[in-house]
Structures are given as structure tokens and as C-alpha cells.
Chain A
Amino acid sequence: MRIKIHEIIGIMFIGVSRVWFRNALVFRRNIRVNLIPPFIEPLLYLGAIGFGIGAYITDIEGVPYIRFIAPAILAASVMNASFFECAYGTYVRMYYQKTFDALLATPITIQEVILGEIFWGATRGLISALSISIVLLLLGLASPVGLLIVLPFSFLAGVLFSSIAACFSAVSPSIDTMSYPATLFVAPMFLFSGTFFPLHLLPQIVQVLALLLLPLTHVVSLIRGLLTETSVPLWAFNISWIVMGTIIFSFLAIRLFKRRLVV
């Protein structure tokens, strides 16, 4: 009996969605707690940085400062939500709750578990993007049409950040070591990805490093282009980096988890 490739993909899709659903159900059970931070956080940033610092800065490249950082705040929230879900959330489910062990005793495969986790992480990113979009829309800080494109794009960016986090999760010997990627990768990315000031203010070498190593750079510049209706000079490079990174890190995450869990 030969099973065709599209049937395998079909079965996998069902498996992945089942894992995703399990996480979504838990999220829904605690919806009140879960939905407050994504609304509060952007307001804090907009308030402190946008209106505070923004009082001293008028325009950046013809864009009012608060409009300049609004897209970055959205992008950074997607990053945070996705990254932390698949760093800490995934690690806790794997290591402390033995949820993966339980899943792997069912017909679900390890690929499906990991992809389900990554897509769930991306969904957390999308939820954050959605709540910030509402805030930005109400404050009139972003182009409504741009927001429509930004939402599905946030999901893709979420997959990228989730899969990177999943790789760290898979190799982390303990939950404490997860603070390394958090402080050495996520925190610098939050500051040096053209988020609060344009990338070209940085020394050239740092600019190159940011473009090569910090995925948030690409996400910020694309989202900023869409929300401020300005041009994105490196758009092709930005998109390629995100797509390639998503594919590479997803596969890598699956491999690393296999190495850790299938013994």
C-alpha cells in the first residue's frame, strides 16, 4: 500500500492542527488573563517613548516620531509573544508537564508536535498584532489598509520567531539557560533593529550585522513601510530573509527536538 505525498501532508496538517488546538484551548480557558498584556504593553511603549521622547523629536524622515515607532512596537510585540511562547511555553510543556510525552504516545508524530507548537507561537504573535492594531487604529497612528496586510504578515513573522525560539528550547539544558537567548538575542534585537531610531544612524558594521543576524530588522522595515505608507528600499532582501529563515529554523527545530526526545 503506497501512500501518496498529498495524503501525508493532509494527515500531517490534521496532526499539527490538533496540537495547535490543545494550546488554543488552554489559552481560551484563561482568556481574561491572556488578553490583557497584549493591550497594555503597546500603550505603555507608545505613551512613554512615543509621547515622551517624541516631544523632543519631531520627524524622522518626514514621519512623525510616534508614527515612526508604532510599527516597530507592533513588530516587537509579535516577536516577544511568539518567541516567549516557544521558548518558555514550549519548554515547560516539554520538560515539566511532559505534555509531549503524552502526545507522542498517540498517533501524533514529533514533527506535528513541533510544528503545532511553532504555529501556536505564531498565533500568539498574531493575537498581539491584532490587539495593537486596534489600539493604533483607534489612535489613528497607522494606515488601515496597511494594517490589513500587516496582520497575515505578522503570522509569518511569528512563525519565524517561534521557530528560532523552538531551536533554543530544544537545546536548552534547563529553563534557566533560556535567559541567554532572551538577553543576548531578543533584547539587542529589540533595540538595534531600526525600532526606535533608523538603522542608518548605527556604524556601518553594526548595520550589516543587524541586517544579517537580527530578523526583527526585516520585520520592522516591512511593517513600517506598510503602516506609514513609505517605501522599503530592501524589501526583496527583507522578504527573502524572513522566508528562508522560517524554512531553515523550522526544519532545524524539528531536527533538534528529534535529537532530544527520540532516544
Chain B
Amino acid sequence: MSRYVIEAKDLTKRYRDLTAVDSISFSVTRGELFGFLGPNGAGKTTTMKMVQCVSPRTGGKLRVFGDDPETSGRIIRKRIGVVPQETNLDPDLSVFDNLTVYARFFDIGRDDALKRAKNLLEFFELEGKKDTIIEKLSGGMKRRLLLARALMNNPDLLILDEPTIGLDPQGRHHIWEKLLKLRAEGHTIVLTTHYLDEAAKLCDRLVIMDHAKILVEGSPDALVRTFIGMDIVETDKSDQVTRYLDSINISYGTGGEMIQVRTDKPRELADRLTEQFREIRIITRPGSLEDVFLMLTGRGLRE
């Protein structure tokens, strides 16, 4: 058996005249927590849907558990758990029924389904909401229930499309904790996210996608080391400061209202700047995944 859970080579998806995924290659190994980062419209969801075997690819090669989604969709889907970007819990059913009815579609017997549903509701701290109708759940509870539903079939691969979208910090931490626990149990997890801290905290490896392509791949630390490498000194943008930096031959980047300088001697630069400009506001900090992300994808807003 292949050690890859997912293997994609030159994977492409076109919707009529729009190329949503353009010849991307990546692989996910067993037990890994793998992330897809990228701005709106980058092609993350489209990629997830091809892996889930719900959207046929236009070109390239794709293997999930070593099988081809085109011919083995049913067998592959049986082993996958999915949290979609858009909530699709069954509003006609209660919380508990959402889980047990879902289990039927996986050929899970009644007793098993009842037991699993009970355990999962406990795991996600939703026991109290067992008989509640979906409409009456908060956004965070719905996300947790979706995750519980995705685990009903004890999947070998979990696909989470923005699992913490719209959650408060408590809700996000709760989900992170559960995801790390699941990874420790050996689940293979693929997730997409817009939250850089989330990706940095959770992912073993990740790719950054933009405009349908993969820009880079690596572990969060390695990416920060390769692309930023040093600390960052940040200050408010002003013509005097840029003129001064030009005059002492220090290169800088500007993003939004800030000037960023990558340096391995942050204290020294900060001191020079305060000396030069009395009232200046300076932040020095280690480089982060966010810097990598903004460097690679730019600061322009996406439609």
C-alpha cells in the first residue's frame, strides 16, 4: 500500500473558461496534518472537492488511498470525513439524528451509530444539545457538530474546509485542541484556512495557493526560515523614514500603512531609528507565517 494518502500531480480543474486549479502537485502522507492556505478564490475548496470525489477533475493525476476518484469514488468516500466550508447540517433533524442518519449512509449499523453519536457529542461537548433543532445552535456549535458528523464513519482521512470559520477565540481553541488530539490518534487531516496562526500552530506541512497555483510548500517553520529568515522591524509609513532607509542602504517593504525591514539585528536598527526620529513608533518581532503569506500573495484584496 502506498504511503501517500493523497497524491496529486498536475491536478487541474476548469469551470468553463475559468481555471480554478491550475496544474498543482502535492502529496499527503499518513498521519500528517496538512494545510492549504490562500486568499479568497485561490482554489482551495475546489481542490478539496476533487479529493472528496464530488467534483471530477479536468486534468492531471489524482490518487486517494491509491485509488482514482474517477472510478472508485464510492469506496474512497466511505473512508473520508468532510467538514464543508458551507454548513450543510440537516435542518429537518435534531442534533442527534443528524449524526445517526448520516451514519446510515456509511452502512453503519444502528447500535454502532448510537454509540458513536453519543461519544462524539461528548467529545465535542454537545451532549446538552442532543435533541435541539439545528436552527437553534450557535455558529460554534454547528461547526463542532459538523466535525462530529465527519467523524461518524471513523474516517482514515479528514477533510476540513475552514473548520474554524466564524468562531470566537474560545471556539477556535476548542477545535484546535480536538484536532491535535485527533492527529495524535493517527488521523490524517487536511484543512484549509485563512488564519495564519491556525496554520502555524496546527500544520505539519502546508502549501500556500494563489491564483489556482501552489506557490510554496513546507513546514510553517521552514517557510518562515526560508522566506523571512530574520526578524522584522515595523514602523509607520512616512516619507522621512523611507528617505532615511534609502540613504543608509537598507531595503524595506511597504505594506498598508507600515514599513517592514527584515534584519538579523533588530535592536540595532530600532535604536538607529529612534535616534533619528524621536516620536517614532517601532515594533520588532520575529518573522511569522503571515509575513510569508503577504510577501507571496501581495496585499491586494481579492474579489
Q: What separation, in Å, do the CA atoms of A186 and B250 have in the docked complex?
A: 77
Chain A interfacial residues counted at CB < 8 A: 23
Cβ A25 vs Cβ B105 within 8 A: no
Cβ A105 vs Cβ B55 within 8 A: no
Classify the interface of chain B: helix, strand, loop or mixed: loop
Residue among B15, B74, B90 making CB contact with A102, cutoff 8 Å: B90
- B102 contacts chain A at the CB level, 8 A cutoff: yes
Interface string of B74-93 (1 = CB under 8 A from A): 11011010101011111111
Residues of A within 8 A of B91 (CB): 97
- B222 contacts chain A at the CB level, 8 A cutoff: no
Interface string of B11-50 (1 = CB under 8 A from A): 0000100000000000000000000000000000000000
- A107 contacts chain B at the CB level, 8 A cutoff: yes
Cβ A262 vs Cβ B105 within 8 A: no
Interface string of B59-81 (1 = CB under 8 A from A): 00000000000000111011010
Chain B interfacial residues counted at CB < 8 A: 29
Cβ B105 vs Cβ A99 within 8 A: no
> Which A residue sits closest to B100, measured CB to CB?
A25
- B260 contacts chain A at the CB level, 8 A cutoff: no
Residues of A within 8 A of B89 (CB): 102
* Min CB gap A243→B, angstroms: 30
> Which B residue sits closest to A27, measured CB to CB?
B92
Q: What separation, in Å, do the CA atoms of A97 and B134 have in the docked complex?
A: 11
Cβ A25 vs Cβ B55 within 8 A: no
Most-contacted residue by chain A among B15, B88, B89, B107 (CB, 10 A): B88
Residues of A within 8 A of B55 (CB): 262-263
* Min CB gap A174→B, angstroms: 18
Cβ B88 vs Cβ A101 within 8 A: yes
Q: What separation, in Å, do the CA atoms of A102 and B84 have in the docked complex?
A: 8
Residues of A within 8 A of B93 (CB): 25-26, 29
Cβ A105 vs Cβ B52 within 8 A: yes
Cβ A105 vs Cβ B84 within 8 A: yes
19 more contacts with CB within 8 A, not counting A105-B82, A106-B106, are A14-B107, A25-B93, A26-B93, A97-B91, A98-B87, A101-B86, A101-B88, A102-B88, A102-B90, A105-B52, A105-B84, A106-B78, A106-B102, A106-B105, A107-B105, A107-B106, A108-B105, A262-B56, A263-B55
